[in-house]
């Protein structure tokens, strides 16, 4: 398998249009696992980290459809390549901060990403389009079972899987769903919704997870507890909460359209007009305008725009991807020009 596709092609499975696509971008399951008898990554030295890499690489050869998987050592990647992996949600920002002794196993469709030596020895991640949390869990469970046959996990009969962070002890499961919530933000209702979610045991984070900003009105909602809870119960609870948020966002959109009328239509079309004609676009401006356009698509104001094209632009407009495709680091001004050209071509189907 040619690893180049992971850095230059935008064909990840989660960018397709899945269930509840008007509000839900993707669903993710992540399982934290550690190997017994080896220090966890925060306390591990170079030798221990490489030993983990070696053991996991050997175990990965026995994964279902093993030929579809490719192992990348982060130390052999350029800074731009590592940044692209973050932008495609295949690794976390924390994972690439120190590349030595760290790696990632990727399936060819990028639905599976197994981070090696992030905060834990293994972070098994499944990323699927739309509201597909149950399917993601089933795949994660199968891969976890396969790896466990060849790796000795750190496990305690009393508490469950042992992890670096106490919040992950037990199941080691983190389920999260990425949603686009522009109407709740515009109506100043998002804060109250997020407060209620926190009271019910959920966590709301930004576009790239913990410690990141909510660019373009995209938010990740995930479970907070893992100890003394069955995986299926955690997933069912999160799905119930997310379905309520979906209904609240849809109601907010209707209210927004009813109250603003042509002002909302004008906002949407101004965003579309700017994106299809601008010669310079910053990353933040592109995310904001694309959010407005996505809102318009979901209100049937822009039927000519496809949600899958907007999903692709979540990666195509990111600075790391633009520079990796260019083959070099670029000054901000040139990145902004290239970003504008990419958006024009993607939305109109031609270079303008």
The pLDDT tens digits of the residues spanning 59-72 come to: 999 999 999 999 99
- pLDDT at residue number 352: 46
The range of the structural domain enclosing residue 65 comes to: 5-252
Q: How confident is the model at residue 2 (pLDDT cuts 50, 70, 90)?
A: confident
Taking 60 as the threshold, does the pLDDT of residue 244 lie above it? yes
Are 266 and 245 contained in the same domain?
no
Taking 60 as the threshold, does the pLDDT of residue 112 lie above it? yes
> 228 by DSSP, 3-state: which?
coil
Report whether 27 contacts 124 (CB < 8 A): no
Are 93 and 221 contained in the same domain?
yes
Mean pLDDT of 249-262: 96
> 206 by DSSP, 3-state: which?
strand
Are 52 and 147 contained in the same domain?
yes
Are 276 and 344 contained in the same domain?
yes
Domain boundary among 195, 219, 252: 252
The Cα–Cα gap between 29 and 140 comes to 7
- pLDDT at residue number 1: 55
Minimum mean pLDDT range among 54-58, 128-132, 199-203: 199-203
Task: Give the torsion sign (CA, 92, 317, 243, 125).
Answer: negative
Are 220 and 92 contained in the same domain?
yes
Domain boundary among 191, 226, 252: 252
Mean pLDDT of 119-141: 97
Are 94 and 112 contained in the same domain?
yes
Are 274 and 226 contained in the same domain?
no
Are 170 and 37 contained in the same domain?
yes
**Residue 209 forms beta bridges with which residues?**
206
Domain boundary among 252, 276, 307: 252
Mean pLDDT of 108-137: 97
Query: Which uninterrupted H or E stretch holds 160?
Result: strand 160-161
Mean pLDDT of 309-331: 95
Q: How confident is the model at residue 226 (pLDDT cuts 50, 70, 90)?
A: confident
Nearest alpha-carbon partner for 167 in 125, 120, 200, 104? 120
The Cα–Cα gap between 258 and 250 comes to 13
The pLDDT tens digits of the residues spanning 29-60 come to: 999 999 999 999 999 999 999 999 999 999 99
- pLDDT at residue number 168: 87
Looking up tokens 């100890």, which residue turns up? 227
Are 290 and 146 contained in the same domain?
no
Nearest alpha-carbon partner for 193 in 182, 205, 184? 184
Are 177 and 284 contained in the same domain?
no
pTM for this one?
A: 0.92
The pLDDT tens digits of the residues spanning 266-304 come to: 999 999 999 999 999 999 999 999 999 999 999 999 999
Are 223 and 294 contained in the same domain?
no
Domain count across the chain:
2
Taking 80 as the threshold, does the pLDDT of residue 28 lie above it? yes
Can you say how many angstroms the Cα of residue 187 is from the centroid of all Cα atoms in its chain? 26
Say how many C-beta atoms besides its own lie within 10 A of residue 157's C-beta.
Answer: 5
- pLDDT at residue number 266: 97
Taking 60 as the threshold, does the pLDDT of residue 351 lie above it? no
DSSP assignments along 196-227, one per residue:
HHHHTTEEEEBTTBTT---GGGEEEEEE---T
Q: How confident is the model at residue 78 (pLDDT cuts 50, 70, 90)?
A: very high
- pLDDT at residue number 216: 84
The values of phi and psi at residue 45, to 5°, are -90, 180
Mean pLDDT of 154-182: 93
| Polymer length of the chain | 352
Report whether 109 contacts 9 (CB < 8 A): no
Are 11 and 155 contained in the same domain?
yes
Calculate the average pLDDT of the chain.
Answer: 93
The Cα–Cα gap between 104 and 101 comes to 11
- pLDDT at residue number 154: 96
Minimum mean pLDDT range among 205-214, 220-229, 243-252: 205-214
Nearest alpha-carbon partner for 285 in 333, 215, 344? 215
> 154 by DSSP, 3-state: which?
coil
- pLDDT at residue number 350: 57
Cα R_g (the chain), whole angstroms: 21
Q: What is the CATH number of the domain that holds 47?
A: 3.30.590.10
- pLDDT at residue number 270: 98
**In Å, what is the CA distance from 206 to each residue of 14, 159, 211, 219, 312?**
17, 30, 7, 5, 18
Percent of the chain surpassing pLDDT 90: 87
């Amino acid at each position: 398998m040619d690893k180049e596709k992971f850095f230059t092609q935008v064909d990840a499975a989660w960018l397709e249009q899945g269930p509840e696509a008007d509000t839900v971008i993707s669903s993710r399951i992540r399982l934290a696992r550690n190997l017994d008898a080896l220090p966890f990554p925060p306390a591990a030295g170079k030798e221990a980290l490489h030993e983990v890499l070696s053991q996991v690489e050997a175990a990965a050869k026995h994964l279902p459809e093993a030929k579809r998987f490719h192992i990348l050592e982060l130390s052999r990647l350029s800074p731009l390549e590592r940044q692209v992996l973050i932008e495609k949600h295949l690794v976390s920002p924390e994972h690439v901060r120190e590349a030595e002794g760290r790696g990632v196993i990727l399936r060819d469709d990028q639905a599976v990403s197994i981070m090696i030596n992030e905060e834990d020895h293994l972070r098994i991640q499944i990323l699927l389009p739309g509201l597909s949390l149950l399917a993601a869990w089933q795949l994660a469970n199968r891969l976890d079972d396969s790896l466990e046959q060849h790796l000795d996990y750190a496990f305690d009969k009393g508490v469950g899987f042992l992890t670096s962070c106490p919040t992950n002890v037990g199941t080691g499961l983190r389920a999260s769903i990425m949603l686009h919530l522009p109407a709740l933000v515009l109506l100043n209702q998002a804060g109250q919704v997020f407060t209620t979610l926190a009271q019910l045991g959920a966590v709301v984070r930004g576009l790239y997870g913990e410690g990141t900003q909510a660019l373009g009105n995209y938010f990740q909602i995930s479970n907070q507890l893992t100890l003394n809870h069955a995986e299926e119960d955690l997933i069912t609870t999160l799905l119930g909460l997310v379905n309520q948020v979906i209904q609240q966002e849809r109601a907010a959109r209707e209210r927004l359209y009813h109250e603003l009328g042509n002002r909302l239509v004008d906002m949407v079309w101004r965003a579309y007009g700017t994106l299809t004609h601008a010669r310079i676009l910053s990353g933040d401006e592109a995310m904001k305008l694309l959010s407005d356009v996505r809102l318009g698509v979901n209100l049937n104001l822009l039927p000519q725009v496809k949600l899958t094209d907007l999903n692709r632009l979540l990666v195509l407009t990111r600075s790391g991807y633009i520079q990796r495709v260019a083959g070099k680091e670029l000054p901000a001004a040139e990145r902004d020009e290239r970003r504008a050209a990419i958006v024009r071509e993607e939305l109109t189907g031609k270079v303008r």
